[in-house]
Amino acid sequence: MQQSGKGGRHGWRFRAALGTLAVAGAAAAASPSRPAAAPHWRDGLAIQIWAYNDALKNKDAPSPVPKIDVPSALSRIKAMGVDQVEVMHVPGYSAAQMRTALDKAGMRAVSVQMDYDRMRDDLPGAIAAAKALGVSQVGISAIKIFGPQGYHLLNIADTEEAGEVLAKACASAQAAGMRTFLHIHGNDLHMLDGKTALDRIIDKAGGCFDIEADIYWIRSAGVDPVAFINKYGAKVTSLHLKDWKPARGTALPFPPLGKGDLNLPAIMKAAQAAGVRHYIIEDESGDPDTQLPQSLTYLASIGK
C-alpha cells in the first residue's frame, strides 16, 4: 500500500476545518461557564506514535505499512495537520534521538508512555528519558496486561504493588517537574472485594497520579466511557481516542473515529467538562495513513 501522499492530501482539509472552528472555540473559551483550565480539544489534539508501531517497532511483523523510521512517521503525522504526539519507546531510538527528531520536525511530545516493568525496576532511567523528551507527563502504559494464561485481570497483590510503584513514580516525576499518569487498559476496572482494581491502586498511591482514559479499553471492560470520565473528573487529564466495535472471536476491530459504536460527541462533551487537556488519537488498525485522516475529519465534523 502506498502511503506517501495520503496524509498530505487530507491534512489541508483538517487544518481548514479547524480554522472554521477557531472562532467558535475562542468564544467558548471566553464563556464564564467554561472551566478556565480546560483548553478546547482542538488545542490538545495529539497522535500516539504507536499508530506506526508495525513499521517502527515490530520490524519483522507482517503489516500493510511499509517499514519507516521515526522522522518519516513524524512527517506523515504533521502532514495531517497535527504537530503534537504522545511517544513510547522505539527500539534503536534513545530519548535524546527522539527529541532531536521531534525538534527537526517542528513537533513536540505532550507525554510519554513507559512499560510498567521499567517504571518499577528503572525509575531513575525512566524519569531521565521523559525529561530528555521535554514532556510534562510520564505514564505507565498498562499494568501486567498479560500473564502466563494470556490476558491478565489484576489481583489485589497486583494493585498493592502498582500503587507503590506509582507513588514512587509520582514523587520522582514531581521532583523533575512532571506529573505521572496511568493509562487505563481495561484489566484494572473489575471489582475486587467491593472496589475496582483502579480504585485500589489510587488509594494505595495516595491519589497522586492522573488518569489517561482509553475509551476503547474502558468500553471493552463493559464500562461506559462517559460514566468513567464523570466519576473520575479532574483526575482524567488525557484521553486515548479510538472507536469501538464488539470483538469478532479473537479479532479486535479498530475502526476509525465515527465508524464504531461509541457516542463520541457525548464523550468529548464529558471530557471538556472534566477539564481534559490532551486528546490523543491512538490508531491500532495497522493502516494509519488511511484511518488517521478519517478520524481527524470526523473530529473536525463534531468539533464544538
CATH numbers and ranges of domains, the chain:
6-290 (3.20.20.150)
CA atoms within 13 A on the CB side of 276: 30
The answer to whether 67 and 59 have CB atoms below 8 angstroms apart is yes
In tens digits, the chain (304 residues) has pLDDT values of 333 333 333 343 334 444 433 333 333 333 323 334 566 888 999 999 988 887 776 555 555 556 788 999 999 999 999 999 999 988 778 999 999 999 999 999 999 999 999 999 999 999 999 999 999 999 999 999 988 888 899 999 999 999 999 999 999 999 999 999 999 999 999 999 999 999 999 999 999 999 999 999 999 999 999 999 999 999 999 999 999 998 877 778 899 999 999 999 999 999 999 999 999 999 999 899 999 999 999 999 987 5
Residue 214: phi and psi, rounded to 5, are -85, 105
Q: Which residues contact 185 (CB under 8 A, 6 or more apart)?
A: 141, 142, 143, 145, 214, 217
- Please name the helix (run of DSSP H) or strand (run of DSSP E) that holds residue 110, with its range, or none: strand 108-114
The answer to whether 200 and 163 are in contact (CB under 8 A) is yes
Place of cell 469478532: 248
Q: Where are the alpha helices (DSSP H) in the chain?
A: 6-30, 53-56, 70-79, 95-105, 116-121, 123-133, 156-175, 197-204, 215-220, 225-232, 264-274, 288-302
With cell 504526539, the residue in question is 85
Pairwise CA distance, residues 125 & 122, whole Å: 5
Q: How far does Cα 39 stand from its chain's mean position? A: 17
What is residue 93's predicted lDDT score, i.e. its pLDDT? 86
Integer CA distances (angstroms), 81 to 122, 140, 177, 297, in order: 36, 27, 29, 11
pTM of the predicted protein model: 0.85
Backbone angles phi, psi at 123, to 5 degrees: -60, -45
DSSP helix/strand/coil, 69: coil
